[in-house]
């Protein structure tokens, strides 16, 4: 690892000032689970590493209208949070599948977003939950919908002078059911061949709103909007799920790797979207019966 200077600012403003001054020469470290590997392998050699440990306010979840998740909140905190389980169940489920407990205790949600590996578990869950990403830089704060945040493999909308401060998620609509599937032929601690997050909202027995997002099927995590449209106004039945799942192939461009060929991943995406929709619909129906 090349030598670097470690800085530990006490406020968001100080972080932004350091980033603004050093731009690409400075790298933020949150949990360090991704960054340290990059540095050890000489893929990144920052002159300054900026620790966020003193920014405790960014390590909390709050629930005021929307669910606001500080960028430094760990995956383990989210996996075990009652607020997240109740209002963003897809994120709860996805966090449960991230690596091992040791990684989940260190890794942060903000770090996962900026890391932007298309195979991560949490981005599809947040895409299907209509999350927004909040950033703060030298020119002030801004928010983007998460479907505009991921630009490519390890590439995001975040500028070099910006800190990701919050992930904001609206509570899911009433009458919704969700399902997260991580299909991994090796172990769940590995990255998936395909992952699927689905949310269906029923009104008067018909599908009123649908969200389908996938991971590991292209250069970024993706929303399958055509597949979502296929479901609107339909009865939640096997035929609707099959038609929707078939439409997913138009939204994905899987890359072959050790977890499967491009064709295999395509087939698995269709299979697991259909399964996720069936589970989400059953859960939405249970919610409707319970009300
Ligand atoms: C062995 C192993 C197994 C894993 N398995 C899985 C898995 O099964 N599923 C899964 O989803 N993930 C998995 N991961 C990835 C893990 O989720 C990410 O490494 C982690 O979420 C990154 O968070 P971090 O806090 O450690 O980020 P860091 O390593 O600290 O940072 C990652 C990147 O984000 C930047 N950054 C961090 N926080 C901010 C911020 N607030 N603002 C701006 N930039 C920031 C850093 O500069 C760096 O470029 C695995 C990782 C490891 C090491």
- Confidence check: pLDDT of 276 > 70: yes
pLDDT digits (tens, 9 = 90+) for 18-66: 999 999 999 999 999 999 999 999 999 999 999 999 999 999 999 988 9
pLDDT at 290: 61
- Confidence check: pLDDT of 2 > 90: no
pLDDT at 80: 97
User: Ligand 1 — pocket residues by CB below 6 A?
Assistant: 27-35, 71, 98-99, 103, 106-108, 110-112, 114-115, 120-122, 158, 163-164, 189, 191
> What's the average model confidence in pLDDT over 68-88?
97
Nearest residue CA, atom 5 of ligand 1? 99
Is residue 34 within 8 A of residue 115, CB to CB? The reply is: yes
* Token duo for residue 265: 């991943």
pLDDT at 288: 63
> What's the average model confidence in pLDDT over 102-120?
97
> What's the average model confidence in pLDDT over 104-111?
98
Please give the span between the terminal C-alpha atoms of the chain, in angstroms, as a whole number.
57
CB atoms within 10 A of CB 129: 26
pLDDT digits (tens, 9 = 90+) for 146-205: 999 999 999 999 999 999 999 999 989 999 999 999 998 777 678 999 999 999 999 999
Q: Rounded mean pLDDT of the chain?
A: 95
- Ligand 1 centroid to residue 75 C-alpha, Å: 10
Question: Which ligand 1 atom is nearest residue 52's CA?
Answer: 41
Among 61, 63, 93, which Cα is nearest to 79's? 93
pLDDT at 187: 75
Q: Which residue has the higher pLDDT, 260 or 286?
A: 260
Best residue among 31, 34, 108 to mutate for probing ligand 1's pocket (most ligand atoms within 8 Å of CB) is: 34
- CA distances 127 to 176, 198, 207, 226, Å, are 15, 10, 19, 15
DSSP codes joined into one string, 43-87: S---SEEEE-TT-GGGG-EEEESEEEEETT-BHHHHHT-HHHHHH
- Ligand 1 centroid to residue 231 C-alpha, Å: 34
- Confidence check: pLDDT of 8 > 90: yes
* Token duo for residue 210: 């649908």
Percent of the chain with pLDDT over 70: 98
> What's the average model confidence in pLDDT over 2-14?
96
With H, G, I as helix, E, B as strand and everything else as coil, classify residue 200. Answer: strand
Work out the pLDDT band at 289, boundaries 50, 70, 90.
Answer: low
Distance CA 150, CA 121 (A): 14
Q: Sign of the CA dihedral 36, 45, 3, 12? A: negative
Domains of the chain, earliest start first: 5-51 (3.30.43.10), 56-169 (3.30.465.10), 176-290 (3.30.390.50)
Distance CA 235, CA 203 (A): 10
């Amino acid at each position: 690892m090349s030598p670097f200077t470690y800085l530990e600012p006490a406020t968001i403003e100080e972080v932004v000032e350091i980033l603004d001054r050093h731009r690409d020469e400075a790298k933020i470290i949150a949990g360090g689970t991704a960054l340290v590997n990059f540095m050890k392998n000489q893929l990144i050699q920052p002159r300054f590493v900026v620790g966020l440990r003193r920014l405790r306010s960014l390590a909390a979840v709050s629930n005021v209208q929307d669910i606001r998740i500080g960028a430094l909140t760990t995956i383990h905190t989210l996996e075990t949070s009652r607020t997240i389980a109740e209002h963003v169940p897809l994120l709860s489920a996805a966090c449960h599948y991230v690596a091992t407990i040791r990684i989940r205790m260190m890794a942060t949600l903000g770090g996962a977003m900026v890391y932007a590996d298309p195979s991560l578990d949490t981005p599809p869950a947040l895409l299907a939950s209509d999350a927004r990403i909040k950033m703060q830089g030298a020119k002030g704060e801004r928010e983007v919908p998460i479907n505009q945040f991921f630009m490519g493999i390890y590439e995001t909308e975040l500028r070099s002078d910006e800190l990701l401060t919050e992930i904001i998620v609206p509570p899911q609509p009433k009458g919704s059911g969700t399902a997260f599937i991580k299909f991994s032929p090796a172990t769940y601690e590995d990255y998936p061949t395909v992952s699927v997050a689905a949310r269906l909202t029923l009104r008067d027995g018909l599908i009123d709103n649908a969200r389908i997002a996938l991971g590991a099927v292209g250069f970024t995590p993706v929303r399958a909007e055509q597949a979502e449209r296929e479901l609107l106004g339909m009865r939640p039945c096997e035929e609707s799920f099959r038609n929707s799942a078939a439409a997913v192939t138009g939204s994905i461009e899987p890359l072959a790797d050790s977890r499967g060929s491009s064709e295999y991943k395509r087939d698995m995406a269709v299979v697991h979207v259909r399964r996720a929709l069936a589970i989400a619909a059953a859960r939405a129906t249970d919610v409707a019966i319970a009300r």
